[in-house]
Amino acid sequence: GTAPQLGGVDDGNGHHCHACCVAGELICCDTCENAYHLKCAGLVQIPEGDWFCPVCVAPAGSRPKHPRVRLDL
């Protein structure tokens, strides 16, 4: 969970901030594929060790529910 990979290497994380949808220098969540600008994540500097985004640290009941899509209709 640090800055994005450079040189065209796909690190599996998003290439745009999950909060504001703008590219730039992003911190990547160590649990999911979300990436954020430090400011958008409420950080001043890159933390040491693993970092978990606001979506991953939110209580399960407060996460948005995604509708299930039925493909058999």
Structural element, H or E, at residue 27: strand 27-28
What is the Cα–Cα distance from 45 to 60, expressed in whole angstroms? 27
What is the Cα–Cα distance from 37 to 43, expressed in whole angstroms? 8
Confidence at residue 27, expressed as pLDDT on a 0 to 100 scale: 95
Arithmetic mean of pLDDT over the chain: 79
**pLDDT at residue 56 greater than cutoff 70:** yes
Report field, pTM of the whole predicted structure over 0.85 = no
What is the Cα–Cα distance from 14 to 1, expressed in whole angstroms? 12
Confidence at residue 14, expressed as pLDDT on a 0 to 100 scale: 78
Q: Tokens 């948005």 appear where?
A: 64
pLDDT in tens, 9-52: 455 677 899 999 999 999 999 999 999 999 999 999 999 999 99
